[in-house]
Amino acid sequence: MRVLALDTTARALSAAVVDDQQVRAERVGDTTRSHAERLPAALFDVVAEARLDLAAIDLFAVAAGPGSFTGLRIGIATMQGLAFVTGKRIAAVSALDALAHAAAAGAAEGTLVAAWIDAHRRDVFAALYRVGASPPFSAGRIAVVDAASVGDPASIAAGWTTRPDLLIGSGARLYADVIASAAPGARVVDAPPLASVIGRVAVDRARTGDTVAPAGVQPIYVRRPDAEIARDQKHVNQ
């Protein structure tokens, strides 16, 4: 199973080719250039680095969010286009799930992992997971304890049903002081580029039939788009 995976939830785009559970190639984009400027060329480059062509890809995988609205739209649309023209399917993976899988890869069963992504406006996208006994990157490897939400870091931490052992993601690094106060002894670990994680999760998804046609990909926003919020506020003020 050869998977071409893409993450555009953050400014540092990443793309990878995964063959079963082996990462054949992975690239992280230049943060000074927009996703629109880098795609689809970044995908063609990583496929070439893996010494393949697009026709050899069996499945496309994309981070479905949460993250930058613009980044999500561009990333999903790009993968939808490639999947459509090649007649292949897509695995849409939550970026929060991918972070949890990355942290869980070397963690013991029962470890509690919190994934925090910087949502800007002093907010984080967050979810809490428990590590299971299943193999890394498989469906049973992580179980949701607290579902995805967005909010002030201190409020998110105050709402934990149980304190995490590990935290991962851009929000965890940014708000390490909040974590130190709310969960003394918890470790904050660095997140790898997510494309290769998404690709390995997608391999397992494909084995269980958990993929969709290109048109079936649904973004995971968690927070409503700014345009909707502004529109509703305008109506309230009229």
pLDDT in tens, 143-178: 999 999 999 999 999 999 899 999 999 999 999 999
40 and 73 share a domain?
yes
Confidence label for 33 from pLDDT (cuts 50, 70 and 90)? confident
Distance CA(63)–CA(8), nearest Å, equals 7
CA-to-CA separations, 32 to 11, 99, 109, 121, 211, in angstroms, rounded: 9, 24, 39, 21, 33
Interval 203-212 mean pLDDT: 95
Within-domain flag for 121:
yes
85 and 157 share a domain?
no
Report whether pLDDT(68) > 90.
no
Note the pLDDT of residue 195.
98
Query: How many residues in the chain?
Result: 238
* Residue 22 dihedral angles phi and psi, to the nearest 5°: -95, 130
Distance CA(220)–CA(225), nearest Å, equals 11
72 and 148 share a domain?
no
Q: Is 162 exposed, middle or buried (0-12, 13-18, 19+ CB in 10 A)?
A: exposed
**pTM of the full structure:** 0.92
Number of domains in the chain: 2
88 and 51 share a domain?
yes
Look up the domain containing 26 and give its range.
2-94+193-225
